[in-house]
């Protein structure tokens, strides 16, 4: 009979998969017996309620909070390791971010401290009529979710993790699966709003429409921190996807908007901006465009014991920073868990 602690990870987005990785890595593998239960799995590229495959995803600091910055720093370290191992999943390339006025000093020092690359601010080479005054340059990592998620899954399966497709309605159902003395990792993202026994009403959707283009000539990450569009809720970013000739172009930031239909006016506005700022030859042919409800709120890891004796590690609510906080957040969560299990 196994003396390992049974862990049921609920959700197979980047948060759930990374938590499962940490739980089955190195010495942890002797302590935990992990399985994943999820409505959508990493091969479901077309699901409209599964945000992870539609993410950018790259590393670009989004906050000044010390704890979150720590997670982001740790994720960069981990991605650099993966890059060094030649996984082919991680790209390290030049980046440009356009600002109105100089970027906040704290942000500058964060960039330098975390990314560890040269960081320069320049008022030159600015595009006309975009209302920006400065450009900061540095190098950073990007990944391709459609290669990265299946790779995480494949490695987990090698380690014996079983994936089960199942839609779960209540936390009790998963606690039942984990059993007496077991552990549940709640990585349900926006689902935490509906999951009975959690029902976290602080969670709300942020509609993020993005498009994919063929742009083999441009491998730089670029963003513009000035919003545009009819309601000033469009944000421009251009993230080339390693291992492909595609780039993801963003996007929108529309809190409270659940609409998952594609707005083609928005898609065209993003594409036009990409052609002017990045690559006039990038084509929208053979592309896709979707809306992802992102989460924002409930950011953080919490531990709570429900009616059952099962420990529950909550790991959701990373908003637009799910990928870049993934390794740091997962490691902190697993540490919390190990301490609680020893106590």
Point out which span in 100-108, 194-202, 275-283, 306-314 binds a copy of itself (CB under 8 A): 194-202
Cβ at position 10, least distance to a copy of itself in Å? 14
**193 lines the binding site for a copy of itself (CB under 8 A):** yes
User: Could you count the other beta carbons within 10 Å of the beta carbon of residue 333?
Assistant: 25
Residues from 253 through 272 that contact a copy of itself (CB under 8 A): 257-264
Q: Which one-letter DSSP state was computed for residue 283?
A: B
Strand segments, DSSP code E, in 46-165 are 90-99, 120-122, 134-143, 162-165
Q: How far is CA 210 from CA 34, 227, 251, 269, 291, in A?
A: 33, 15, 5, 11, 7
Which tokens belong to 117? 């690359």
Q: Indicate which single residue of 169, 181, 245, 335 sits in contact with a copy of itself (rule: CB under 8 A).
A: 169
Cβ at position 284, least distance to a copy of itself in Å? 10
Residues from 49 through 88 that contact a copy of itself (CB under 8 A): 49
Residue appearing with tokens 């283009």? 213
> In the complex with a copy of itself, which residue's Cβ is closer, 45 or 228?
45
Per-position x/- string for 113-152, each x denoting binding to a copy of itself as judged by CB under 8 A, each - no binding? ----------------------------------------
Give the total residue count for the chain.
343
Residue appearing with tokens 């960069």? 76
Would you say 83 and 90 are in contact if contact means Cβ atoms under 8 Å apart? yes
> In the complex with a copy of itself, which residue's Cβ is closer, 137 or 288?
288
φ, ψ (nearest 5 deg) of residue 272:
-60, -45
Cβ at position 173, least distance to a copy of itself in Å? 10
Q: Indicate which single residue of 24, 144, 186, 289 sits in contact with a copy of itself (rule: CB under 8 A).
A: 289
> In the complex with a copy of itself, which residue's Cβ is closer, 258 or 305?
258
Which tokens belong to 284? 């929208």
Point out which span in 6-14, 132-140, 161-169, 231-239 binds a copy of itself (CB under 8 A): 161-169
Point out which span in 1-9, 45-53, 82-90, 324-332 binds a copy of itself (CB under 8 A): 45-53
Residue appearing with tokens 């970027």? 103
Q: How far is CA 137 from CA 21, 74, 99, in A?
A: 32, 21, 11
> Buried b / exposed e across 109-127, counting CB within 10 Å, b at 16+?
ebbeebbeeebeeeeeeee
**164 lines the binding site for a copy of itself (CB under 8 A):** no
Rounded to the nearest angstrom, the gap between the alpha carbon of residue 141 and the centroid of all alpha carbons in its chain is: 13
Cβ at position 240, least distance to a copy of itself in Å? 21
**340 lines the binding site for a copy of itself (CB under 8 A):** no
Would you say 235 and 252 are in contact if contact means Cβ atoms under 8 Å apart? yes
**39 lines the binding site for a copy of itself (CB under 8 A):** yes
**Calpha distance 41→23 (Å, rounded):** 19
**231 lines the binding site for a copy of itself (CB under 8 A):** no
> In the complex with a copy of itself, which residue's Cβ is closer, 11 or 103?
11
Cβ at position 199, least distance to a copy of itself in Å? 6
Q: Indicate which single residue of 109, 122, 164, 194 sits in contact with a copy of itself (rule: CB under 8 A).
A: 194
List residues near a copy of itself by CB under 8 A.
Answer: 39, 45-49, 165-167, 169, 190-191, 193-194, 196, 199, 257-264, 287-289
């Amino acid at each position: 009979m196994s003396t390992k602690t049974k862990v049921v990870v609920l959700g197979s987005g980047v948060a759930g998969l990374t938590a499962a990785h940490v739980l089955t890595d190195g010495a942890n593998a002797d302590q935990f017996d992990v399985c994943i239960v999820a409505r959508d799995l990493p091969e479901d590229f077309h699901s409209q309620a599964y945000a992870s495959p539609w993410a950018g995803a790259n590393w670009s600091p989004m906050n000044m909070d010390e704890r979150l910055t720590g997670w982001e720093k740790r994720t960069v370290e981990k991605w650099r390791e993966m890059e060094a191992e030649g996984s082919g999943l991680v790209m390290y390339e030049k980046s440009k971010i356009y600002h109105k006025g100089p970027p906040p000093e704290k942000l500058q020092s964060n960039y330098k401290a975390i990314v560890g690359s040269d960081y320069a601010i320049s008022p030159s080479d600015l595009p006309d009529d975009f209302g920006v005054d400065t450009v900061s340059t540095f190098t950073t990592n990007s990944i391709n979710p459609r290669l990265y998620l299946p790779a995480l899954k494949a490695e987990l399966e090698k380690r014996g993790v079983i994936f089960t497709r199942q839609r779960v309605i209540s936390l009790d159902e998963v606690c039942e699966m984990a059993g007496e003395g077991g552990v549940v990792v709640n990585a349900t993202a926006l689902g935490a709003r509906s999951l009975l026994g959690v029902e976290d009403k602080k969670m709300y959707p942020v509609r993020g429409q993005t498009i994919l283009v063929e742009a083999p000539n441009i491998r730089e990450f670029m963003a513009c921190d000035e919003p545009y569009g009819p309601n000033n809720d469009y944000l421009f970013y251009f993230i080339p996807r390693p291992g492909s000739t595609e780039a993801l172009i963003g996007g929108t930031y529309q809190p409270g908007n659940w609409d998952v239909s594609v707005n083609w006016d928005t898609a065209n506005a993003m594409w036009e901006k990409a052609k002017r700022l990045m690559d006039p030859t990038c084509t929208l042919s053979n592309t896709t465009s979707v809306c992802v409800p992102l989460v924002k709120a409930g950011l953080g890891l919490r531990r709570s014991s429900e009616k059952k004796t099962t420990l529950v590690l909550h790991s959701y609510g990373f908003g637009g920073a799910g990928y870049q906080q993934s390794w740091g957040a997962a490691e902190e969560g697993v540490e919390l868990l190990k301490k609680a299990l020893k106590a």
